[in-house]
Structure 1
Amino acid sequence: MKNLLILLILVSNLLSYEIVNGDVEILKVDKNSAGKLYIDKKELFWFTNPANKDEKVAFVSSNYRAKNDIVVKSIVDDKEQILTFKVIKGDYKQEKLTVEKSKVKPPKTVQERIKKELEEANKIYLSTTKTLLFNSKFTLPINSKITSDFGNARVFNNTLSSYHSGTDFRAAVGSTIKACNSGVVKLAKDRYYAGGSVVIDHGAGIYSQYYHLSKIGVKVGQTVKKGEVIGLSGASGRVNGPHLHFGIIVNGNSVNPTDFIEKINFALFDR
């Protein structure tokens, strides 16, 4: 696993790293070395490691469609460090799925609904709670086989429509779905494409998604604990059968959920 953990040495120099499109990397420094942090002109934030109060961490995510290098600037005591992340294309596959025609070419009567749902979700993901809302490792929401990996090109009814922004797990209708970590529910409703949906804010710009649910068991604004049942799996929305779509958003970008969990657990809790 390349670049699992980057230790910043805050001196004036230039370093180069790699990041896969649709992936995340974690920066870590001593708490006294955490200054200003930017991607281009957008400020990033340092957060106290819940497992070590003497450390600060920050998260750099790459958009799936990113092509340009990601340049991160750290400034401490007027000294700059530039980290250049070269974006490399992930080894993503293509998969063909058959779904209802209306889920590929939605009728005009639902297009406004789809637009509003997208705008609502993006508004959530672009906000950042300035603290971590969890203090232990992330876990998977269901112990089941992965049926579709993150990043796959999705060909619905012979039409290339999108890429897979999460990971699908086998889940019969009515299987219990648990929060992958503690946080606050930011979305809990039925949506056109995602079906029964729950989104949890874990702080620091980290959100988890649980889609295609048959039953939603939480409300917006509710605080949930890791492992708490938040709903039941189903086959709602754009699907070709019952399953759980599990996604992770970091700083507004969808990232590989299983890779994210492995990295954050190692960086914060296993070192």
Structure 2
Amino acid sequence: MKKILTLIFCFFTCVFGAQEIKLIKGQAIFLELEKNNFIELKNQNKTIPTFNHPKNKNKILAIFALPYKNPPKSTKLIAIYKNKQQEFIINALEGNYKSEKIQVAKNKIFPPKNVQERIKKELQEANAIYTSYTPKALYDGTFTIPLTSFITSDFGKARVFNNQVASYHSGTDFRAASGTPIYAANSGIVKIAKNRYYSGNSVVIDHGFGIYSQYYHLSKINVKKGQKVKKGKLIGLSGATGRVSGPHLHFGIFAAQKQVDPLDFVKKFNALFNEI
């Protein structure tokens, strides 16, 4: 009888319930965990990084994101403490993503052989950046949206280029005449500042803790790779470089090693600073 009571006690101290969370594919969530006696957060055999809550000294945060393409239907995360465990079950939702047709230059759909090696190298460079992790905050408080103009294309739209190639939109497009000033959404370190085949003149900023902001199709770049920038600094001018149908700003956010809805991410991130 004593053994049975011990086992029952152990079960309730080691497993601290399971919280089910619904998350739309292509979106991120901030998990708030108790700081006291916390050891690690696991996704199977992978440890998910955590960092201090910006407003609550008793909490730590972890970012979890679902990919837009083929997200797992359900993901179990386990927060491990000295005397208990807490489970999070993330259930994927499809979301209400729309579709659009776009006409672009033919060579941006079927690139000639002489640029395919360039495209490959640019992808490898980006992947190396996004799979790295800066274990400290480079950001300065909340994020700002680089433009407040009309949104011409939302994140997640299914796209058909020239009635042939299907893709999806990995950011949010803002209407912007060529030459419109573009400012950094937050402080950080510039990781990419160059012309790329598909995204044109591009700037990517590392904000720490696996968070990156992206600014594509610029007509001019005003920063250099490795440069520290402050929130609100002029980083370039909008344009129509790369695979585009006209001038605009493509704004993106990459977090938790996933491309996520930038406006949704900024809204959730900024809400953390309003907590007591």
- What is the TM-score normalised by the length of structure 1? 0.93
- Whichever of the two has the greater Rg, that structure is 2
Is 1:259 aligned with 2:264? yes
Q: Could you tell me which residue of structure 1 aligns to residue 52 of structure 2?
A: 48
Work out whether residues 47 and 204 of structure 1, in 8 Å CA contact, stay in contact via their aligned partners in 2. Answer: yes
CA deviation string 1:89-134 (max 9, x = no partner): 0110110000000001111111111111111101111111111212
Q: Which amino acid in structure 2 is aligned with residue 162 of structure 1?
A: S
Aligned residues: 263
Q: Could you tell me which residue of structure 2 aligns to residue 234 of structure 1?
A: 239
Work out whether residues 98 and 240 of structure 1, in 8 Å CA contact, stay in contact via their aligned partners in 2. Answer: yes
Work out whether residues 54 and 272 of structure 2, in 8 Å CA contact, stay in contact via their aligned partners in 1. Answer: no
Q: C-alpha distance in 2, partners of 1:182/1:251?
A: 18
Q: C-alpha distance in 2, partners of 1:270/1:106?
A: 48
Task: State the superposition RMSD in angstroms.
Answer: 1.6
Q: Could you tell me which residue of structure 1 aligns to residue 252 of structure 2?
A: 247
Is 1:86 aligned with 2:91? yes
Q: Residues 182, 173 of structure 1: CA spacing in aligned structure 2 closer, same or farther, 3 A cutoff?
A: same
**Equivalent residues in 2 for 1:181-220 (5 A)?**
181-220=186-225
Give the C-alpha shift of residue 88 in structure 1: 0.8
Work out whether residues 137 and 269 of structure 1, in 8 Å CA contact, stay in contact via their aligned partners in 2. Answer: no
Q: C-alpha distance in 2, partners of 1:29/1:13?
A: 14
Is 1:23 aligned with 2:24? no
Q: Residues 51, 14 of structure 1: CA spacing in aligned structure 2 closer, same or farther, 3 A cutoff?
A: closer
Describe the SS at the equivalent of 1:123.
helix
Q: Which amino acid in structure 1 is aligned with residue 239 of structure 2?
A: G
Q: C-alpha distance in 2, partners of 1:33/1:90?
A: 36
Give the C-alpha shift of residue 257 in structure 1: 0.5
Counterpart pick for 1:173 among 162, 173, 178: 178
Q: Could you tell me which residue of structure 1 aligns to residue 159 of structure 2?
A: 154
Give the C-alpha shift of residue 58 in structure 1: 1.1
Q: C-alpha distance in 2, partners of 1:270/1:241?
A: 40
Give the C-alpha shift of residue 54 in structure 1: 3.6
Is 1:135 aligned with 2:140? yes
Counterpart pick for 1:164 among 169, 191, 194: 169
Q: C-alpha distance in 1, partners of 2:273/2:126?
A: 28
Counterpart pick for 2:68 among 64, 71, 81: 64
Describe the SS at the equivalent of 2:207.
strand
Give the C-alpha shift of residue 41 in structure 1: 1.8
CA deviation string 1:202-255 (max 9, x = no partner): 111110000000111111111111111111100000000000000000111011
Q: Could you tell me which residue of structure 1 aligns to residue 43 of structure 2?
A: 39
Counterpart pick for 2:17 among 2, 13, 17: 13
Q: Could you tell me which residue of structure 2 aligns to residue 73 of structure 1?
A: 78
Give the C-alpha shift of residue 162 in structure 1: 1.1
Which consecutive residues of structure 1, in runs of 5 or more, have no partner in the other structure? Answer: 1-9
Describe the SS at the equivalent of 1:32.
coil
Give the C-alpha shift of residue 270 in structure 1: 4.4
Q: C-alpha distance in 1, partners of 2:58/2:261?
A: 28
Give the C-alpha shift of residue 137 in structure 1: 0.9
Work out whether residues 122 and 252 of structure 1, in 8 Å CA contact, stay in contact via their aligned partners in 2. Answer: no
Which consecutive residues of structure 2, in runs of 5 or more, have no partner in the other structure? Answer: 1-13
Q: Which amino acid in structure 2 is aligned with residue 47 of structure 1?
A: F
Q: Could you tell me which residue of structure 2 aligns to residue 106 of structure 1?
A: 111
Describe the SS at the equivalent of 1:67.
coil
Work out whether residues 173 and 243 of structure 1, in 8 Å CA contact, stay in contact via their aligned partners in 2. Answer: yes
CA deviation string 1:35-59 (max 9, x = no partner): 2012222211111123344431111
Work out whether residues 38 and 82 of structure 2, in 8 Å CA contact, stay in contact via their aligned partners in 1. Answer: no
Give the C-alpha shift of residue 64 in structure 1: 0.5
